[in-house]
Amino acid sequence: MKINFTDARPQDADVLAFIVTKSTFADFKFPLEKTDIIHATAKLARFEGAAGQNFLLINEEGGKLVRIVLLGVAEGATADYQKAGGDIVAKVQTSGAKHIAIHAGNLSAQHAAEVAYGATLRNWRMDKYRTKLPETSKPTVEALTVVAAPADASGHWTNYQAVAEGVALTKELVTEPANIIYPESFVERCQHLKELGVEISVLDDKDMAALGMGALLGVAQGSRRPARMLVMKWDGTGGTQERPVALVGKGVTFDTGGISIKPAAGMEDMKWDMGGAGAVAGAMKALAGRKAKAYVVGVCGLVENMPDGNAQRPGDVVTSMSGQTIEVLNTDAEGRLVLCDALHWVQEKYNPEYVVDLATLTGAIIVSLGSEYAGLFSNSDELADKLTAAGKASGDPLWRFPLSKAYDKMIDSPIADMKNIGGKGAGSITAAQFLGRFIKDGVKWAHLDIAGTVWADKPGPVWDKGATGFGVRLLDRFVADNFEG
């Protein structure tokens, strides 16, 4: 869908959208031929311009029938304007309409851009494998024009567009099936980031073996797909920021559970067990796309967890790159084994002051939070507060959980330094506690358990059913608010 900003409404627009508040709707002057009919029809439908309300009618304008969409927002609420854009697309995406015109004469520059942003996010879908999709189910909208917005709205849009493209990359990686996206092909899908100025390097399984990454490689040893570590570096500071922000993503491109195999029902969902790595890749694209004035390194630990004759067994002991040993009691608690080596490596290589990891790590976080929030664990109140604020502002919300030495005894092993699972309770906390053992003194670290938020069973404000792109908007906002002047 092509986005334009113009002064006059395009003649070919067949959807006309208007965004109002409850306080302004009664006196709103629609730049249409039959304003009274719009108000009367809306009143019959009980549309008052309240936040979240939307209403579609068909009326004559300029000698032809057009769809008119009315949307209510709360005064100044950023999320409402993005949701309004998403609602417009949701209503007309497959309706046969081709060109949406949004009247923005009553909006600020930022809000006008946010409407276009929400519409772009909501418009993403993957249909390439649906060869028999009925014509009436195919998307028809080709363009969206924002009309009469303040002059600098297009400048705001430039940044939002970059973030939307990062979200789209994440949704693509998460949505693709595991026979298409595996460690090597994940790396290939990210090569185009070089065109934006991202420096990309890759560690293969031999490189990681030489570095002693026994925890990560132990997960991968049952698969015919070799492990990879993807490293993406963006420095928009010209070298003035000495220590980067490190983003680390769990990239289990498919998770059978290994020898501790998962039940068959629902196992197909495990194609999105690389959602953390997908979010990191999307965030790096967003940052580079808008030329962020920050120094950020993204690391994705990429493996496939399969149960062949060479697979890791419950009871095996592996040695991580840090030298710490791990008793693997459950091969389905594999994400933390991938992350611990990736976390140690990025600290050794780049000496970051801040490290944020993202992972679809535990089912326990879904029990705790459902799909509304991702879990936040951190050794730094400062970092936790910054991430929480970024989550609230971006629409990717977080809820903080505790870390405490009281939980350490739950992952102590009688034959190794630690075991990879705790007891029956506090599953998300003990997983985070495990990762915390690989963070160096003085490093501010946060772990985001996004298992409940990367995939949606029903449409949301700015995503359709399926991949949500969770984490990209959050990380971009976190960097923008705290590391750019």
Residue 77 has pLDDT above 90, yes or no: no
Least Cα distance to 345 among 284, 301, 310 occurs for 301
pLDDT in tens, 310-323: 999 999 999 999 99
pTM, whole model, 2 decimals? 0.97
pLDDT of residue 319: 98
Tell me the average pLDDT across 142-162.
96
Tell me the average pLDDT across 327-341.
98
Could you state, in order of their start, the residue ranges of all structural domains in the chain?
2-150, 161-483
Residue 200 has pLDDT above 80, yes or no: yes
Tell me the average pLDDT across 438-467.
97
pLDDT band (50, 70, 90) for residue 76? confident
Residue whose structure tokens are 């067994």? 313
Residue 472 has pLDDT above 90, yes or no: yes
**Radius of gyration of the CA atoms of the chain, in A:** 24
At 392, list the tokens: 């609230």
% of the chain beyond a pLDDT of 70: 100
pLDDT of residue 328: 98
- Which CATH number describes the domain made up of 161-483? 3.40.630.10
pLDDT band (50, 70, 90) for residue 300? very high
Query: Which residues are CB-neighbours of 130 under 8 A, at least 6 positions away?
Result: none
Query: From CA 377, how far away is CA 365, in angstroms rounded?
Result: 11
pLDDT of residue 75: 85
Query: From CA 279, how far away is CA 349, in angstroms rounded?
Result: 21
pLDDT in tens, 109-122: 999 999 999 999 99
pLDDT of residue 476: 98
Residue 340 has pLDDT above 80, yes or no: yes
- Active-site hit among 9, 91, 336, 419: 336
pLDDT in tens, 368-410: 999 999 999 999 999 999 999 999 999 999 999 999 999 999 9
pLDDT of residue 174: 98
pLDDT of residue 34: 84
pLDDT of residue 336: 98
CATH-assigned architecture of domain 2-150: 3-Layer(aba) Sandwich (3.40)
pLDDT of residue 152: 94
pLDDT band (50, 70, 90) for residue 440? very high
pLDDT of residue 347: 98
How many other C-beta atoms lie within 10 A of the C-beta of residue 50? 14
262 is catalytic: yes
Query: From CA 317, how far away is CA 238, in angstroms rounded?
Result: 44
Tell me the average pLDDT across 156-170.
98
Q: How far is CA 115 from CA 2, 25, 103, in A?
A: 14, 18, 11
- Active-site hit among 22, 34, 262, 293: 262
pLDDT of residue 70: 97
How many other C-beta atoms lie within 10 A of the C-beta of residue 305? 30
